[in-house]
Amino acid sequence: MSSEASSPPSVRSVRDEVAALLARAGVPDPEVDADLLVGHVLGEGRGRVQALIHLDATVQDADVSRIRELAERRATREPLQHITGTAPFRSLELAVGPGVFVPRPETEQVVQFAIDALRSVPSAEPIGVDLGTGSGAIALAMATEVPHARIHAVENSPEAFIWARRNVEESGVTNARVVFVDLADALPELDGTVDVVISNPPYIPAEAIPRDPEVRLYDPPAALYGGQDGLDVVRTISRVAQRLLHEGGTLVLEHGELQGAEIRELLTADGWRAAATHRDLTTRDRTTTAIR
């Protein structure tokens, strides 16, 4: 990239330079990522970056160098969230990095089903469980948005558990805890008492390698692949959730857009009632719910 020696470059010129680099690298939404990278270095949100562009503000040389350094990393398709160290999720700002699945916007809608179910429980302290919590995104969304609930997050990856524990600690919530244990053995002390179980399990079939380098190269494989048909972990969750939930409790599962019918069939065969699949905001099947 070129550098202007005569006067400090403008925020607009640096942002446009970064956006052009990212576009050439095939990064989706390069202008959005350019805004976010500039904002990350300047300590500003995207809206403020846009304002600085309109004000024709300039950028100090040290900041320009840092922005360019981070832009080069993003151009290799390293996830933006790994570069900034954070990922937004609903009202939360989560710490993420290597070893943990980066939470996705579509999961924000999935967790709404669990939040609604918890809020409808006629109990002073409804109980929610997040199986395979990863960064802790789902568990913390439930804990912060249903503050009278008690939330238990389960993780079996040592790397992801570290991120989840950090996020729970830094959130300051007192109604959520993270447990490191294999999913099949999770929380026997809660058997028959849980109101809502939710999971965003690995559901990609073993041979369906994701196209996006950000996913293929950086998300942990254990968080992506669910066996030959993608449903191995779903089968485990079905059994564990039946053990944990009381009769009438709710199961919420995120899955791929072509898996709804197969998951409904699987759950119904396991004895679940009222299995139903719901579309996300892009009209793709995304969530299946069922009643214990």
If asked whether residues 40 and 156 sit together in one domain, one would say no
Helices (H) and strands (E) in the chain, counts: 11, 9
Q: Would you call 201 a catalytic residue per the annotation? A: yes
Q: Tell me the residue length of the chain.
A: 292
204 three-state secondary structure: strand
Catalytic residue among 79, 113, 200, 202: 200
Tokens describing residue 196: 């809502």
Q: What is the pTM of this model?
A: 0.90
- DSSP line for 3-61: ---SSPPBHHHHHHHHHHHHHHTT-SSHHHHHHHHHHHHHT--HHHHHHHHHTT-B--H
If asked whether residues 47 and 163 sit together in one domain, one would say no
If asked whether residues 56 and 93 sit together in one domain, one would say no
State mean pLDDT over 10-28.
96
If asked whether residues 105 and 183 sit together in one domain, one would say yes
Q: Would you call 101 a catalytic residue per the annotation? A: yes
State mean pLDDT over 255-273.
97
Question: Does 139 score more than 70 pLDDT?
Answer: yes
Distance between CA atoms of 22 and 4, rounded to whole angstroms?
A: 20
Number of Cβ within a 10 Å radius of residue 61: 13
State mean pLDDT over 171-193.
97
Total domain count for the chain?
A: 2
If asked whether residues 48 and 186 sit together in one domain, one would say no
Whether residue 26 is contained in a domain is answered as yes
Whether residue 276 is contained in a domain is answered as yes
Catalytic residue among 30, 79, 201, 202: 201
Q: Which of 21, 53, 76 is the last residue of a domain?
A: 76
The HSE-up count of residue 69 (CA atoms within 13 Å, CB side) is 10
Q: Would you call 156 a catalytic residue per the annotation? A: no
If asked whether residues 128 and 251 sit together in one domain, one would say yes
- Per-residue pLDDT reduced to its tens digit, 204-257: 998 888 889 999 989 999 999 999 999 999 999 999 999 999 999 999 999 999
Work out the pLDDT band at 4, boundaries 50, 70, 90: very low
The pLDDT score that the predictor gives to residue 211 is 86
The pLDDT score that the predictor gives to residue 5 is 52
- Per-residue pLDDT reduced to its tens digit, 88-118: 999 999 999 999 999 999 999 999 999 999 9
Catalytic residue among 9, 89, 101, 202: 101
The pLDDT score that the predictor gives to residue 3 is 47
If asked whether residues 71 and 91 sit together in one domain, one would say no
If asked whether residues 279 and 178 sit together in one domain, one would say yes
If asked whether residues 247 and 229 sit together in one domain, one would say yes
Whether residue 81 is contained in a domain is answered as no
If asked whether residues 239 and 162 sit together in one domain, one would say yes
Average pLDDT of every residue of the chain: 95
If asked whether residues 211 and 105 sit together in one domain, one would say yes
> How far are the Cα atoms of 9, 51, 103, 123, 232 from residue 106, in angstroms, in the given order?
37, 28, 9, 29, 22
Distance between CA atoms of 290 and 285, rounded to whole angstroms?
A: 15
The HSE-up count of residue 175 (CA atoms within 13 Å, CB side) is 18
Cα torsion through 168, 174, 175, 177, rounded to 10: 40
- CATH number of the domain enclosing 253: 3.40.50.150
Whether residue 5 is contained in a domain is answered as no
What is the residue range of 24's domain? Answer: 11-76
Are 53 and 15 in contact by the 8 Å Cβ rule? The answer is yes
The pLDDT score that the predictor gives to residue 209 is 85
Question: Does 2 score more than 70 pLDDT?
Answer: no
Whether residue 114 is contained in a domain is answered as yes
Are 121 and 148 in contact by the 8 Å Cβ rule? The answer is no
Whether residue 280 is contained in a domain is answered as yes
150 three-state secondary structure: strand
